[in-house]
Chains A and B, each alone.
Chain A
Amino acid sequence: MNQTEVTKEGLKHERPEREATTGVVAGRKQRRDTMVPPAKFQSYYGKPVINKPVWASPDIPGYLFLGGLAGASSLLGAGGQLTKRRGLARVSKAAAAAAGGLSLVALVHDLGRPARFLNMLRVFKVTSPMSVGSWLLSAYVPAAGLAALSEMTGAVPLLGTAASCGAAVLGPAVASYTAALISNTAVPAWHEGHKTMPFVFVASGASAAGGLAMAAAPLAESGPARRLGLAGGAVELALTKAMEHQMHPAVRKSYHEGKAKWLIRAAEALTAAGILGGFAAGRRSRLGAGISGACLVAGSACTRFGIFWAGEASALDPQATLTPQRERFEEKISFEKGAEVEELRG
């Protein structure tokens, strides 16, 4: 009976019949060890196991970036006001209001049914970071807006100050909760980073807010922004690397391939340039502060987009989903077997 299979790649399992050569002549090496080879990776025709996120770019990665920028800017805004740095306060509050508002627009725009966005406020669920985030944003965005309006126009100063303080308290939560938002999924490149992601996100937010204020606020007042931006950038660089290293190699791969690879590399280069430039020229030169600040902002954006695309790539890659699970599963089984043996002995 013929076992030859006709495939798109040509014939498979063709029978060698009489022309077959065997042994060393055919290139067979002598077996050196009898170890069982590692289990072959299996999947269903290479199809993804999980469905990839339906979140669109630039809406959602843009939202991750803007949320961080807004949240950290609110801290600089309130700090600037409390320490009488009016220029810094003005720039940072405007940035917070604009980024916060824009992020809300991006979120609503990404909904499958934008007209139903108010359904987000039907319930409050701690098990859903998106629910928590919706409530957070519905308090934060008006506060940040009011703070900026009062700062710009000088109207309602007391209410403005209260709003600034409110935004500064909510700001860090706005900057960090998005880490839980994306880590709390079955997407391997996001979920496996859940221990470090919150710190990467706040650092990236600090870098963006510091960079923006460094670039736009008067040099004499931008000291705190520079310190926050440089510290944020440095931590962002270090922790993004650390986060990748905590991941299973099959998952880490998605950070080193395709779009994610270039974005993460660009983020590293831009953030490093921003840090160096900020140290060297951020204090004295207007141009230096402008360029290095812009580098930090761009670096932060590239980090978020890179993480977003790494997640999408890992969702489409069955190896990223299956390999860590299979290893975990084997471990569990061998642990159970070990426990059984122990029991028999005991």
Chain B
Amino acid sequence: MIGPLNLLSSERAAEPASADGYADHPRRMGFFTDTSVCIGCKACEVACKEWNHVPEDGLNFTAMSYDNTEGLGADTWRHVKFIEQRKPLGRQEPGLLHELASPISFNGQVGQVAPAAPKLAALPQASPDGSPFIDFRWLMASDVCKHCTDAACLDVCPTGALFRTEFGTVVVQEDVCNGCGYCVPACPFGVLDQREGDGRIWKCTLCYDRISYGEEPACAKACPTNSIQFGELDELRERARGRLAQLHEGGVRDAQLYLDGKEDGIGGAGAFFLLLDEPEVYGLPPDPVVTTRDLPRMWKLVGAAAGALFATAVSSFVRAGK
């Protein structure tokens, strides 16, 4: 309820649990998904389903890419996106050319810039066998609930089924939700949905049960490349800035952080991303805004409209006389 009133307050963004009434709580926890090292293996999707007993989400063939899951929903809490692009850069480095170290060589320590990373432009434009490099790349990214500071789903939930945990995350209580569906179109990211045959709304809980016992969420645990990193949000943001600098240094100019705590319309996210292209390419909104930011104005206008209706009705009797 306090949400829209003190939006953009930095204290609130740092620890939404305090703002929502927790006196004593752990640090805000979250996800940093570094898509530059995602290999699209979908281990996160599987681990999430296994741990959380999420039912199957359809055995579909989309014919659009290697992504047959399509999007987040009641039965998909982690979703690996797969993008094929006619853009250079994503070429594979076999690591056999000793004089040419990989421009984004991962030296094992996140956040540390490789000292001798050569600029991409300095690399030859042809491979050793003389054929030109293909303008073609694959982007993979594991999407998830953003656990917004100003969470529209939480604001609009009429039953209080959605609540803020002590970790600053947003969780649906399945024994309270009556499936009214208001949170579904309220979410600017298309995260929540109604489960067929069940009627209730389901979404990522950031493994509330696991993190309560000091375990990391199932997806992060299963991620073989550490593309999904779980931890205290402050630390993750620091780490992400280092990684971004490293990529920029390596010549990956398109790399950008998404929802990394800068001023945005959702007061900062608990799950943020490092992307290699514009957010739209990944199906993410470039400027998401929590809908309840406009609600105070809506209520004023609703009041004005109700007043206008009352006045019009009264005047239609007055003019009629008796």
CB-CB < 8 A to A50: which residues of B? Answer: 185, 187-190, 285
Instruction: Please state if B158 and A125 are interface contacts (CB–CB under 8 Å).
Output: yes
**Of all chain B residues, which has the CB nearest A12?**
B86
Which residues of B160-198 have CB atoms within 8 Å of chain A's CB atoms? 160-161, 176-182, 184-194, 198
A119 near B: Cβ within 8 Å? yes
Residues A227 and B316 in contact in the complex (CB < 8 Å), given A54-B193, A111-B179 = yes
CB contacts (< 8 Å) of A216 on chain B: these are none
Would you call B283 an interface residue if the criterion is a C-beta within 8 Å of the partner chain's C-beta atoms?
A: yes
Q: Does B310 contact A (CB under 8 A)?
A: yes
Roughly how many angstroms separate A225 CA and B287 CA in the complex, as a whole number? 46
Q: Are the C-beta atoms of B312 and A231 separated by less than 8 Å?
A: yes
- Would A54 and B186 count as touching, CB distance under 8 A? no
- A1 touching B316, Cβ below 8 Å: no
Q: Which of under 10, 10 to 19, 20 to 34, or 35 or more describes the interface residues of A?
A: 35 or more
Q: Which residue of A lies closest to B141 (CB)?
A: A44
CA distance A101 to B255 in the complex (A): 55
Mark out the residues of chain B between 179 and 224 whose CB falls within 8 Å of any chain A CB in the assembled complex.
179-182, 184-194, 198-201
A49 touches B317 (CB 8 A): no
Contact B201 A112 (CB under 8 A): yes
Please, which residues of chain B bring their CB within 8 A of the CB of A318?
A: 280, 283
Residue pair B287, A328 in contact (C-beta under 8 Å): yes
A-B contacts counted at CB < 8 A amount to: 265
* Interface residues of A, dominant DSSP: helix
Q: Give chain B residues whose Cβ lies under 8 Å from the Cβ of A134.
A: 158
In the complex, are the beta carbons of A51 and B185 less than 8 A apart? yes
Q: Which of B132, B155, B158, B179 has the most CB of A within 10 A?
A: B158
Q: How many residues of B contact A (CB 8 A)?
A: 85
User: Which residue of chain B has its CB nearest to the CB of A321?
Assistant: B285
Closest chain B residue, CB of each to CB of A41: B280
Contact B291 A184 (CB under 8 A): yes
Within A119-153, the residues touching B (CB, 8 Å) are 119-120, 122-123, 125-131, 134
Residues 183-203 of A at the B interface (beta carbon under 8 Å): 183-187, 190-191, 194-195, 198-199, 201-202
B20 at the interface (CB under 8 A from A): no
The segment from B104-112, B116-124, B226-234, B301-309 found at the interface with A is: B301-309
Asked whether, in the complex, the Cβ of A186 is within 8 Å of the Cβ of B186, the reply is yes
Q: Give the top 3 A-B pairs by smallest Cβ distance, nearest first.
A: A112-B179, A112-B199, A44-B283
Q: Which A residues are closer than 8 A to B by beta carbons?
A: 1, 3, 8, 13, 41-45, 47-55, 71-72, 75-76, 79, 82-84, 110-114, 116-117, 119-120, 122-123, 125-131, 134, 171-173, 175-177, 179-180, 183-187, 190-191, 194-195, 198-199, 201-202, 205-206, 210, 223-225, 227-228, 231-232, 311, 315, 318, 321-322, 325-326, 328-329, 332
Sample of 16 further A-B pairs with CB below 8 A, known A44-B282, A48-B71: A49-B190, A50-B187, A51-B73, A51-B191, A53-B181, A79-B317, A82-B317, A113-B200, A120-B180, A127-B295, A128-B155, A175-B306, A183-B294, A185-B156, A198-B306, A329-B287
